Amino acid sequence: MAFIVPRDYKYYYQKGYEAIEQGNNAAAIYYLDSAVILNPEADSTYTLLASCYYNLGKVEKTIDYSNKAIFINPNNPYGYFYRGISTSFVDVFSDSLAKQIKKHKKDSVWLADNIKNRYYMPSTNDYSYSGLYDYGNAIEDLTKCIELDSTFITAYSYRAIYYHYLQQVDAAEKDYDYCIKKEPKVATHYLNRGNFREQYGSPGHARDDYTKGIDLDSNMAELYEKRGLLYYNAFHDKEYACKDLTKATLLGRYIEDLDSYCKLTDLESTMRMYGGYPHRHDYQYCVCPPKPVFNPETDTIREIEISPDNVMEIWDIKDSEKTTWKFDDGRVIEISKETKKRWLKEEEEKRKKELLNTP
């Protein structure tokens, strides 16, 4: 005779937790619902359910289960976290709020305190637009989460983004910097801070953040996209913009009108051969000298005669004292005297062949 061992709360809770780790939110909800029936006072079960519904994009249910967790345990940081990040997706626009905004539309102080510092409008500054998101409330929940668990860096990361969107620059920068200080090897932190720095007029620092993120995670397509667009718009470097945007598409990122970013003029195509523009991620604010565009030990004179402005130049290579050439675009080319002797010999042999072949 077989005996059926009854499964308790811990069994279903553990199965639900394992399903979340495997990315199977539907299965996790099934197990966690059973756990709730067996132990309705366990606040951690509700926060796991909140995480499942958030992953599935059901923010109303996420908020509902977060509220249940907080009601049972007001010191549950994850309840505040999931409620906060879900609140940011809920459109709170209403006719009554619109009337209040209209009533105070000339009162800049009231608008700053009650609207600009609290609500996010994604597409327009027109307060009649039916789309307001309560980032102020989200920030309050995330701040409470951080007070309860100061080691939860993800809460700082989300709070920084909400401060950023509300244009609270100092608070956003502080949280972005803190995330990188505590988790310096997380590429997403550099993506977020780079986006913030780019928006607030620091393209050089933004480029550095995107590049650092790529160094940490070379498969994050959005980093290549952001850096590519930065090269194109801020530094006017179409060559590097094309390389980064093409890489982003190869990693699955859709770039609208990619061909328009990658089309080079004749002059720009010529400059590609000579190192291009100075604002590159492999330079440090244009201080380091550009890399040579040819190998002086193997290349011939004819391969380096064309200047960036497409004008033919014959350099005075017979001047034995001259071993360095400097160009207006920042390039510096150095060769040895031995190389110059080889070049002179090559030129002399070429001239003899031309004479022999002359009728």
Cα–Cα separations (whole angstroms), residue 127 to 91, 93, 103, 132, 325: 13, 10, 11, 9, 60
| Res 106: pLDDT | 72
Please, what is the average pLDDT of the chain?
A: 77
Identify the DSSP state of 302. Answer: G
Exposed / middle / buried, residue 6 (Cβ in 10 Å: 0-12, 13-18, 19+) = exposed
Q: Residue 308: pLDDT above 80?
A: no
The better pLDDT of the pair 283, 42 is held by 42
State the average pLDDT over residues 7-13.
87
Tokens of 147: 């007070």
Q: Residue 291: pLDDT above 90?
A: no
Find out whether 272 and 239 touch, Cβ atoms under 8 Å: yes
| Res 239: pLDDT | 83
Q: Which amino acid, residue 124?
A: T
pLDDT-based confidence at residue 43 (cuts at 50, 70, 90): very high
pLDDT-based confidence at residue 127 (cuts at 50, 70, 90): low
| Res 346: pLDDT | 74
Structural domains of the chain in order of their starting residue, each with its CATH number: 9-88+115-272 (1.25.40.10), 301-356 (no CATH)
| Res 289: pLDDT | 37
The better pLDDT of the pair 103, 280 is held by 103
| Res 72: pLDDT | 95
Q: Highest-confidence range of 4-8, 152-156, 231-235, 250-254, by mean pLDDT?
A: 152-156
pLDDT-based confidence at residue 167 (cuts at 50, 70, 90): confident
| Res 254: pLDDT | 82
The H or E element containing residue 212 is helix 203-216
Nearest C-alpha neighbor of 48 from the set 24, 23, 66, 60: 66
The better pLDDT of the pair 1, 327 is held by 327
How far apart are alpha carbons 85 and 155 in whole angstroms?
9
How far apart are alpha carbons 45 and 34 in whole angstroms?
10
Q: Is the pTM of this model over 0.85?
A: no
Of 1-15, 17-31, 51-65, the one with minimum mean pLDDT is: 1-15
For 34, other C-beta atoms within 10 Å of its C-beta total 17
Q: In sequence order, what are the residues at sequence separation of 6 or more whose Cβ sits closer than 8 angstroms to the Cβ of residue 15?
A: 31
Rg (CA), the chain: 30
Beta bridge partners of 91: 133
CB-based burial, 308-319: b 16+ in 10 Å, e otherwise: beeeeeeeeeee
State the average pLDDT over residues 11-23.
91
Q: Residue 178: pLDDT above 90?
A: yes
Task: Report, in this order, helix, strand and coil percent for the chain, each rounded to 5.
Answer: 60, 5, 35
Q: Which amino acid, residue 266?
A: D
Give the whole-number percent of the chain exceeding pLDDT 90: 41
Q: Residue 269: pLDDT above 60?
A: no
